[in-house]
Structure 1
Amino acid sequence: MAVPSTSSTVSGSFPVTSMSSIKLDKSNYPAWSRSVQLYLRGQGKLTFITSDPPNPKESSYDKWSQEDALLQSLLCQSMEPKIATHMLFLDTSRAVWLRAETLYSGTNNLTRICDVYTDFFTVKRGERSVSEYYSDFVGLFEQLDIYHPPSTYLAVLAKQKNELRVTHFLDGLGREFLSLR
């Protein structure tokens, strides 16, 4: 989760800190995004990534722009360098947030869904303690809730059921068919 270590502030707005102890990589978007959201909500700045920017003609725009630039910097610092490099030239923190979501959330990425289902169905305690095993199990279950959230809509349930069939089939093909996933 977010582990801030802060001291100073910018324009009395929000602390200059590391917004997350988790650095975004290609496989940890759910944990990273949750950590960042918690930090921003705690700072009262969640709207920077959830809402459109104000009109540049508004009197509050300069202050917003200053805070948004700091937030963009913090977002990029919370990413692996290879990912952050592709985010540096976006105009707003919301644009950075949406790009990261599109590229790494995996919500419509059958390969990622397949990987999570495979991990979920094959996770074993092994040599780990029961609490470590339980923690991993719950983490996988929570990821499945992100990729396939509970729903009462038949169309959504049918889509999820079909994705489960496809992912299980693809997983069973073996390594020589890995590129199909």
Structure 2
Amino acid sequence: MKKLVIVAHPNIESSVINKRWVNELEKHPDHFTIHNIYTEYPDGKIDIEKDQKLIEAHDALILQYPLYWFNCPPFLKQWLDDVFTYGWAYGSKGNMMKGRKIALAISAGIDKEDFQEDGEWKVTIEQLTLPFKTTALYTKSDYKGHFVLYDSHNAPNSDALEKSAEDYIKFAMNI
């Protein structure tokens, strides 16, 4: 089955990293369905049933986003709140996420060295993504970890952008 990639970038057209990743995903239409929630729902009104059916049609879910203030963009959080409903994603009768694979793809502007407990920000990417892992556990999903491009502000000026696109596809294919 194909993997559903939820792209949550508030301005994908001006993005370098996330737009490049989407372009790479588009080369593999047999493997990935791309669902850009900011483009799909410019008014912020999510079609919950439509997105739940979209998730149901895939065996894996990848949440792709730029790190914003050490978190995901607000619309991705709203999307999770709205789509992962009681009775569908969790609860006594909510089992639609059970066993479904979930992974993250994150572009982070900060150096990897700064995302250490003894680094500048005293926090790791694992700690920052813990709410996603916990959500997966709560919904009985299969959390597959994360792919991160650190220092993404400098990536467009180096070979890191192309390498990240290649590495991202390898990561996503193996989920």
Band the TM-score falls in, shorter-chain normalisation? under 0.3
Which structure has the higher relative contact order (CA within 8 Å, separation 6+)? 2
Asked which structure has the greater CA Rg, the reply is 1
TM-score by length of 1: 0.23
